[in-house]
Every structure is written in structure tokens, then in C-alpha cells.
Structure 1
Amino acid sequence: MSDPVPSWLAKGLVAPGAAHAGLAVARLAQQGLVSDAMLGKGGFALTSAAFANGEELDPSFTADEEDSVAPPLEWTAPPPGTVELVLLVEDPQAGALCHWAVWGLPGQRGKLLEGEAPPRVGKNGRGNSEWLLPAPPHGDAPHHYVFQLFALDLPLVLMPGATREDLVKAMSGHVTAVALLTGLYARAEDGDDDWDDDDAD
């Protein structure tokens, strides 16, 4: 069984529970590779013009609307010495299902526009190199989509299509700061979709 989420990390999450222990940031914290001093270090922060921390994602970023895309994101300057940024988006209520694995972001203040293709995108929880549209089971309480932005002290040499596990392994020991942002999403009781987040392996 996973260790509980450290108290310092819980302060950066929205209504954390046992499931949050499966997040990449929590797993790195459990290994002593991410610490409280790294959370928001130097004012490092991640925001979105589309939703505030703990607010609901618009359906235009989910599987419930056609032509949905990834939401816009913006981040402040990471600490000095940052070489590259890595973004992982996971749903703890679906076994830390990976919705986005992004790297190759310059180690500076920046942003991703709505629907913009990042420099490098790895495989999501369904094996595709793209933003995995949130599709929580109908009637579930809101799922949490945790955007985790990691500042690294070295560049990654992973090839496109790398997995979340590849990313976490490559980052281990090189994270210098972390910024977190959580979006929520729930669906109506009834629905006839062919899949939902809990169908993932």
C-alpha cells in the first residue's frame, strides 16, 4: 500500500486523499526526491486562464464536447539554474491515470496556449501521445486532474513517445522545484460513452 501523502504536499493539493499518493509528485516525495522546500520554490507557480485551482474544467477540455483540446497554462519563472520543465497531468481517482506527459519546455517563465502542441509529448494512460480527454465515470464525485510542473537541473534526452514511468525515472534526483494546479470534473449520472477513465489499465 502506498505511503500517505506528506503533510507539506497535501497543502498544495485540493482535498487530498489516499488516492493522491499515486501521483508522480507524491511518489517522488515518498522516495525523498521531492521535498517541502521545492513546492513553489522562489514563487514558482502554475496557473490557467481557463480555471482557478480547485475549480471545474470547462467541458471544452474534456471528452464531453467535440473538438476538445488541452487547457491553456502559464507559469512563473522557475528557480535559477533550471534547465528544463516537465509537465505531468494525472487523475488520482483513476489510479493516477496519466492524461498528459510533456517535456522539453524551456527552463523559464512561459505558457502553453489552449490546444497548443508542446515540444515533446509522451504516452498518456491510453498509449497515445496527446492530451487524454477527461472522461470520469458518470455519476462519480468530481475527479481531480492534477497538473504537476517540475523544474529540472538538466535536459532530458527522452525520445517522443516515452511513458510516464520513463519520465519519472529520468527526473529522479534532478527536480529542483514543483508547482501544482488542480482542475475538477464530474459528469451527469446518465451516459452511454464507450469508455471512461476507470477503463484504463
Structure 2
Amino acid sequence: MFRKGILLIVCALASSGAWAQGTLTVTSPVFRAGAAIPAKYSAYHENVSPALKWEAVAGAKSYALIVEDPDAPTPTPFVHWVAWNIPATTTSLAEGKGAGRQGRAGTGNAGYFGPRPPVSDGPHHYHFEIYALDTTLDLPPGADRDALLKAAAGHVIAKGELVGTYDEVQAPAKSGG
């Protein structure tokens, strides 16, 4: 279930055509679309962000990134990473590196928080979403996913995502996404 505010933001973006203007391809050298994310990138292990790459989008002034788990046992997708104002000249992130301004993940901390599904849940899907924007965003450091989506409304010129799965069958039970 989505909170009313999130649903309104998504509806506003969809009706403005912001989502439909273009697509971009997002890849990673460490996992393929639909495949398992290696354990190294999970919060159960080294908790480093995987390398990501996307194609440049003509007219982009910046990029934004959201990583979330819609399978989490929470009312909304669990947010694992939020970043914005990634320079338009940047089309990749190295392993363990961020760019732009880092927002607040579902843990309350800024920066990347790797997959950590409850052991009993089976595999979760992690959506690495890249947004090409026609502007930079005026958001304070530590802003969250909802603030990012609201600020990006009407400025998304292309969007792409890479979805990977993670299932930690050997980890001790911990809460989180």
C-alpha cells in the first residue's frame, strides 16, 4: 500500500508526461537484469554499492538515483539509496562510490544501504532507478525519496531501471528491507 502523498506524486508525474518522455538503459558489471545481486553488496556482508552505468540523455542537466525494495514488509517500498544532482557528465558510478547529493535511506542515514531482506521472505527485488532531469534540484542534504520525487515532478526527461534480486538464506534474522 502506498501512502496517499506518494500516490499523488506518482499520479502527478504520470499525468504530466514526465515518466513517458524517454527511457534510458541502466546496467551493472556485477549483475544482470533480473539476476541475483552478489552478497558483497548486501547489508549482511560488505554493504558497498554496486557499480552502475547508464546512457547519457540529451538535454539532461542532472541525474537522480533511487534504489528501493517493493517486496519489503513495509507499507511503502523500503528505500536503500537516494541521490540527486548527479552531474549530467556522469553516466556511471564506481563500486562503493556515490555522486551528487546523498539522501536519506529507509534506515534514516544518508547513502547506500544494501539489500537486507528478512531471511524468511525469500528473494526480494531491488530497483536501481536512474532519472534524467532537465534541471538540478534544490533539496537539502539528507532529503528522502518522497521529497526527491516531488521536486522532480515535471522535470523527468527519461527514466531507466535495473532490477536485481537478493535472498540471504544464511544470514541471521534482522529487520529491514
Following superposition of structure 1 onto structure 2, how do residues 188-199 of structure 1 map, counting pairs within 5 Å? Answer: 188=169, 191-197=171-177
**What SS is found at the alignment partner of 2:119?**
coil
- Assess if the C-alpha contact under 8 Å between 1:99 and 1:125 holds in 2: yes
What is the identity percentage for the equivalent residue pairs of Structure 1 and Structure 2?
Answer: 35
Equivalent AA in structure 1 for residue 147 of structure 2: D
Equivalent AA in structure 2 for residue 195 of structure 1: S
Distance 2:66 2:83 in 1: 6
Equivalent AA in structure 1 for residue 97 of structure 2: E
TM-score (norm 2): 0.86
Q: What is the alpha-carbon root mean square deviation over aligned residues? A: 2.3
Following superposition of structure 1 onto structure 2, how do residues 44-83 of structure 1 map, counting pairs within 5 Å? Answer: 44-65=24-45, 67-78=46-57, 80-83=58-61
TM-score (norm 1): 0.76
1:37 Cα deviation after fit: 4.2
Look up the match of 1:97.
Answer: 78
In structure 1, the gaps of 5 or more residues are: 3-21
Query: Which structure exhibits the higher relative contact order, with contacts defined as CA atoms closer than 8 Å and separated by 6 or more residues?
Result: 2
Distance 2:21 2:53 in 1: 22
The total of aligned residue pairs comes to: 170
Following superposition of structure 1 onto structure 2, how do residues 14-33 of structure 1 map, counting pairs within 5 Å? Answer: 30-33=14-17
- Assess if the C-alpha contact under 8 Å between 1:45 and 1:180 holds in 2: yes
4+ residue segments displaced more than 2 Å? 25-38, 190-196
1:160 Cα deviation after fit: 1.1
1:88 Cα deviation after fit: 0.4
Higher helix share: 1
1:87 aligns with 2:65: yes
Following superposition of structure 1 onto structure 2, how do residues 170-189 of structure 1 map, counting pairs within 5 Å? Answer: 170-188=151-169
Change (3 A) 1:178 1:28: farther
**What SS is found at the alignment partner of 1:167?**
helix
Pick aligned residue for 1:133 from 114, 120, 128: 114
Change (3 A) 1:183 1:28: farther
Look up the match of 1:13.
Answer: none
1:191 Cα deviation after fit: 4.5
Distance 2:70 2:112 in 1: 16
Look up the match of 1:120.
Answer: 101
